[in-house]
Amino acid sequence: MGQAKGARTDETRREKVTQRVVVAAPAARTPEGRTVLRIREVMRRTGLSRSSIYRRSADPGDDFPPCVVLGEQARGWFSDALDHWLAARPVAPRCAGKGESAASSPPKLVREPAATVAKGGRR
């Protein structure tokens, strides 16, 4: 029995699937030796969201490094420019609030009054 019109064999189906698979490395080198980072690696390094990175890259008044156009829908960032931007960021002391030092005692826990616990509930 012949194949239905428009049906694909397993071989042609595999060819189509392999053509769509794109393996993207987190970083690539330019001919000048500069490393280009893709969006996921930039998100991982900066801790910023995808939309924040694109917004800050497009804003000429922001000091965030601009993106590099790699293709029609592909953007990247030079790792050295991103590293320089990260190094220029101020470092906040950990666990210190306004007017407190990091060595101050932790806040005291306040226990809930027994009246607010539901009858028969867990404590």
- pLDDT, tens digit, 9 for 90 and up, residues 2-32: 555 555 555 555 554 444 433 444 566 776 7
Mean pLDDT is lowest, of 6-10, 67-71, 72-76, 85-89, for 6-10
What pTM did the predictor assign?
0.53
Do the domain assignments include residue 37? yes
Do the domain assignments include residue 103? no
Do the domain assignments include residue 110? no
Do the domain assignments include residue 65? yes
Domain that holds residue 86: 25-90
Q: What is the DSSP letter of 63?
A: -
Do the domain assignments include residue 59? yes
Per the CB < 8 A criterion, the answer to whether 42 and 53 are in contact is: yes
Do the domain assignments include residue 75? yes
- pLDDT, tens digit, 9 for 90 and up, residues 96-107: 555 555 555 555
- pLDDT band at residue 91, thresholds of 50, 70 and 90? confident
Do the domain assignments include residue 60? yes
Do the domain assignments include residue 122? no
- CA atoms in the 13 A half-sphere facing the CB of 74: 11
Q: Angle formed by the axes of helices 50-58 and 39-46, to 10°? A: 100
How many domains, the chain? 1
